[in-house]
């Protein structure tokens, strides 16, 4: 009898008639297939992706149950983007593109299926949409444009006597160029001279950053740049050796090896983008591009101590903060500050 039951059970398993019960979250949702193309691997974009997956899960879409994922990472190699874009779009109902180069590549090969982007600083400048409020095609998403004016105000609070500030970014990334232009204009309006240092890949960073820190600058300002973010260990070490604070960029860049910023949380931005996809699935309509709903004032206390700076009472506007665990010091929900 036991042998018969065992044989029957094996047969049923082989036929696939016995399956694990679907989770409660996934029972009420129809199955979807989502393709994901990420431009490069670094903490901010990785968190962006994880937030997207967790956001879908919270909405009832669970991988392996009613969610099929086709995830590809270009590892920063633009030569791979064309073939990867075709792979992702051909095999998926919905597409998620992480970072500007990935979004541009997807937009070039897919004009029908819904496409969402994230970690894109200037969607209009990148040619993804013409109107943020009314995307006219099949593409929308979330922008990671930094609150540059607030970040410059933060720099002035941390280094009140700053006269020359260096900006390092990748001149080949449209989002970086856009953010650097805004930062330069804002710094100059504040009476601060800007020294620009541009790279084209991580291979340039050591030489360019070394030149920048030796150019008599008082601080380094970073924008949301994929190349710099992927090499924050090196960028931060070179700045610390020169006794220079790094201000600006994202939360993840600051915690990796910067000093302080008022910026966005890429994990939360990913969850926000997932919410947009759910809304598109339910409505069948492309919705407006969104800015980050959550901004945070962040201090890397270890680097502050190395630089001999006490930022325990640093404030941005009327908001006073106190960081005790090397993570975000305060959290403010605002989309207007990123515009």
- Domain contains 12: no
* pLDDT number for residue 24: 53
- Domain contains 250: yes
Same domain, 307 and 195: yes
Which residue from 112, 24, 36, 102 is spatially nearest to 66, judged by alpha carbons?
24
Average pLDDT, the chain: 87
* pLDDT band of 186, cuts 50, 70, 90: very high
pLDDT exceeds cutoff 50 at 335: no
- CA 224/CA 145 separation, integer angstroms: 7
Could you list the residue range(s) of the whole structural domain that residue 173 is in? 148-263+294-338
Same domain, 190 and 323: yes
Same domain, 88 and 164: no
- Domain contains 22: no
Q: Which 3 state secondary structure label does DSSP give 262?
A: strand
**Degrees, nearest 5: CA angle 74-79-85:** 60
Contact 213/242 with Cβ under 8 angstroms?
yes
Digit-coded pLDDT (tens) for 198-252 = 999 999 999 999 999 999 999 999 999 999 999 999 999 999 999 999 999 999 9
Same domain, 245 and 299: yes
Same domain, 172 and 210: yes
- Domain contains 15: no
- Domain contains 237: yes
- Where among 291, 308, 329 does a domain terminate? 291
* pLDDT number for residue 197: 97
* pLDDT band of 314, cuts 50, 70, 90: confident
* pLDDT number for residue 270: 98
Same domain, 328 and 202: yes
- Domain contains 83: yes
* pLDDT number for residue 331: 36
Same domain, 197 and 301: yes
* pLDDT number for residue 29: 79
pLDDT exceeds cutoff 80 at 332: no
Mean pLDDT for 289-298 is 93
Residues 6+ positions from 265 with CB-CB distance below 8 Å: 47, 251, 292, 294, 296, 328
Digit-coded pLDDT (tens) for 59-74 = 999 999 999 999 999 9
Token pair 């970072």 is found at: 99
CATH number, residue 120: 3.40.50.2300
- Domain contains 8: no
- Domain contains 208: yes
* pLDDT number for residue 313: 86
Digit-coded pLDDT (tens) for 13-34 = 444 444 445 555 556 679 999 9
Residues 6+ positions from 296 with CB-CB distance below 8 Å: 251, 262, 263, 264, 265, 328, 329, 330, 331, 332
Digit-coded pLDDT (tens) for 277-289 = 999 999 999 999 9
Phi, psi of 63 (to 5 degrees): -60, 135
Same domain, 178 and 302: yes
Structure tokens at 196: 């620009």
Same domain, 191 and 133: no
Digit-coded pLDDT (tens) for 190-201 = 999 999 999 999
User: Which range (48-52, 54-58, 108-112, 175-179) has the least confidence?
Assistant: 175-179
Same domain, 139 and 273: yes
pLDDT exceeds cutoff 90 at 11: no
Residue 64: CB atoms within 10 Å: 11
* pLDDT band of 136, cuts 50, 70, 90: confident
The tally of domains found in the chain comes to 2
Same domain, 202 and 71: no
Same domain, 189 and 122: no
């Amino acid at each position: 009898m036991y042998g018969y039951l065992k044989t029957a059970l094996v047969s049923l398993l082989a036929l696939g008639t016995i399956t694990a019960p679907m989770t409660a979250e996934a029972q009420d949702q129809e199955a979807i297939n989502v393709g994901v193309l990420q431009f490069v691997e670094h903490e901010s974009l990785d968190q962006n992706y994880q937030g997207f997956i967790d956001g879908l899960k919270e909405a009832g879409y669970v991988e392996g149950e009613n969610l099929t994922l086709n995830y590809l990472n270009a590892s920063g190699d633009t030569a791979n983007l064309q073939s990867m874009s075709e792979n992702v779009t051909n095999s998926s109902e919905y597409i998620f593109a992480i970072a500007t180069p990935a979004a541009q590549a997807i937009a070039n090969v897919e004009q029908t299926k819904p496409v969402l982007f994230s970690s894109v600083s200037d969607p209009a400048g990148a040619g993804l949409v013409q109107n943020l409020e009314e995307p006219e095609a099949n593409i929308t998403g979330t922008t990671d444009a930094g609150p540059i004016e607030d970040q410059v105000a933060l720099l002035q609070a941390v280094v009140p006597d700053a006269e020359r500030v260096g900006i390092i970014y990748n001149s080949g990334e449209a989002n970086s160029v856009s953010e650097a232009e805004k930062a330069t204009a804002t710094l100059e309006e504040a009476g601060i001279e800007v020294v620009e240092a541009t790279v084209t890949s991580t291979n340039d960073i050591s030489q360019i950053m070394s030149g920048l820190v030796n150019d008599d600058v008082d601080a380094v300002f970073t924008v949301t740049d994929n190349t710099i973010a992927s090499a924050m260990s090196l960028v931060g070490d070179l700045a610390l050796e020169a006794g220079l604070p790094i201000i600006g960029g994202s939360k993840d860049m600051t915690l990796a090896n910067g000093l302080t910023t008022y910026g966005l949380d890429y994990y939360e931005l990913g969850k926000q983008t997932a919410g947009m996809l759910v809304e598109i699935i339910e409505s069948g309509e492309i919705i407006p591009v969104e800015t980050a709903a959550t901004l945070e004032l962040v201090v890397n206390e270890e680097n502050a101590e190395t630089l001999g700076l006490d930022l325990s009472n640093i404030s941005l506007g009327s908001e006073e903060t106190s960081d005790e665990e090397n993570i975000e010091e305060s959290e403010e929900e605002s989309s207007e500050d990123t515009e």
